[in-house]
Amino acid sequence: MTRSRRPSPQTVAVLTALAADPSRWRHGYDLGQEIGLKAGSLYPILIRLSDRGLLESSWETEPEQGRPARHLYRLTDTGLALIAEAEAESAAEAAAQPRQAPRPRGAW
């Protein structure tokens, strides 16, 4: 059985959150709070996207006092291109689906 090339809804949520401000570095806790993913789901997604070159990652250079440095993520140009491609595919699929005419009310 082959795996689908389509990203999971959780992966799409991560990419969408990062695409809202592509130049901004985001840490995992912040992303998890925004999109409602727990660490056990979120961090494997971030690692996978980073390994595929869709995200760049860095350690926080000036962590808050009393807090360890956090790992930060943001989209690469490749990640941005993937999002644009996925949005175009989604729009094309939506346009290709036939629209149903509204049913008249009270006809029965």
Structural domains in the chain? 9-87 (1.10.10.10)
CB atoms within 10 A of CB 17: 16
Sign of CA dihedral 82, 83, 84, 90: positive
User: What would the DSSP string read from start to end of 57-105?
Assistant: EEE-SSPPTTSPPPEEEEE-HHHHHHHHHHHHHHHHHHHHSPPPPPPPT
Phi, psi of 63 (to 5 degrees): -65, 155
In this prediction, what percent of the chain has a pLDDT beyond 90? 54
Q: HSE-up of 10 (CA within 13 Å, CB side)?
A: 14
**Residue 92 pLDDT > 90:** no
Q: Which residue has the higher pLDDT, 27 or 1?
A: 27
2-39 residue pLDDT tens:
555 778 889 989 999 999 999 999 999 999 999 999 99
pLDDT at 9: 86
Q: What SS3 state is found at 108?
A: coil
